Amino acid sequence: MNVAKGVETIEITMNAMGNQSLIHPTLIWDEETVILVDAGMPSELPQIQKSMESLGISFSKLNKVILTHQDLDHISGLPQILKVADHKIEVLAHRDEAPYIQGDKPLVKLNPETMAKRLQSLPEEQREQMRKVFEASKQIKANVDKTITDGEVLPNCGGITVIHTPGHTPGHICLYLNQSKVLIAGDELNVIDGQLVGPKQEYSADVLEAKKSLKKLTLLDIEAIICYHGGVYRDNVNMRLLELAALSKTT
């Protein structure tokens, strides 16, 4: 879906443990730079390539991948992208996420202690599937070429401001596209049944911290929000963010 000039979401059907859902990696480009924000799952590279081709953008032009955070549905497709590419693709992530993406630390939500608790809560038929996911996660690693920090402005595609929004994971970031006033929210926000909603406890490493992070987003002038889960939201964006930030103080 076209969001603004040089900004396009890629709608991908993801299969996870027998459940289907839609995810929305984002392409940002201009004459010099092509950026993919979040990499999906390993099997989804052909869909990304097909979407790029439909826009007239060759995969060979992709020169940056920015990861909003470390969750598997955002990073596990990255090694395949880097393997297939016959050129250098620079990988960027927040400095607090880099050790997890590079495999120096176990993923926050898939560390042994957390996994043990999660497995106990699952029906027997799902435990083996989750064990396989856990084992596979240990093999997913990719070098982060550049770490980025809160408030940093990347000089690409009209300027991209990095906003550190910890809570979903420690180094979760949102990206504000200065030229188009589009916010790429990662998993800090979601769209459910057409409504913009805030962080969900069941998916957050620290939901209270994630809710606190909403305040940063209220300081921006936003015309559209891209949520990895839910897609694009445009309805009175700034007012809705103020509502969510106020609500987060009471819950």
- Give 191-228 pLDDT, tens digit per residue: 999 999 999 888 899 999 999 999 999 999 999 999 99
Nearest to 1 by CA among 35, 51, 76: 51
Give the model's pLDDT for residue 18: 58
> How many CA atoms within 13 Å lie on the side-chain side of 45?
15
pLDDT exceeds 60 at position 248: yes
Range of the domain at 47: 2-103+140-248
Q: For residues 65 and 82, what is the distance between their CA atoms, to the nearest angstrom?
A: 10
Looking up residue 196, the CATH number of its domain turns out to be 3.60.15.10
Amino acid identity for residue 123 in this structure: P
Q: Within this chain, do residues 119 and 241 fall inside the same structural domain, yes or no?
A: no
**pLDDT tens-digit readout, 115-143:** 677 667 777 777 777 777 677 767 788 99
Same domain, yes or no, for 125 and 53? no
In the predicted structure, residue 251 carries a pLDDT above the cut 70: no
Q: Are residues 125 and 195 in the same domain?
A: no
**Residue 200 shares a structural domain with residue 243:** yes
- Please tell me whether residues 56 and 166 are part of one structural domain: yes
Distance CA 38, CA 10 (A): 11
- Which residue, 135, 211, 217, 127, is CA-closest to 167? 211
129 lies in the same domain as 165: no
Dump pLDDT digits (tens) for 50-66.
999 999 999 999 999 99
Inform me whether the pLDDT recorded for 17 exceeds 60.
no
- β-pairing, 90-94 with 64-66? parallel
Q: Are residues 80 and 29 in the same domain?
A: yes
* Percent share of the chain, pLDDT over 70: 95
pLDDT tens-place string over residues 26-35? 999 999 999 9
- The tally of domains found in the chain comes to 2
Does 67 lie in the same domain as 13? yes
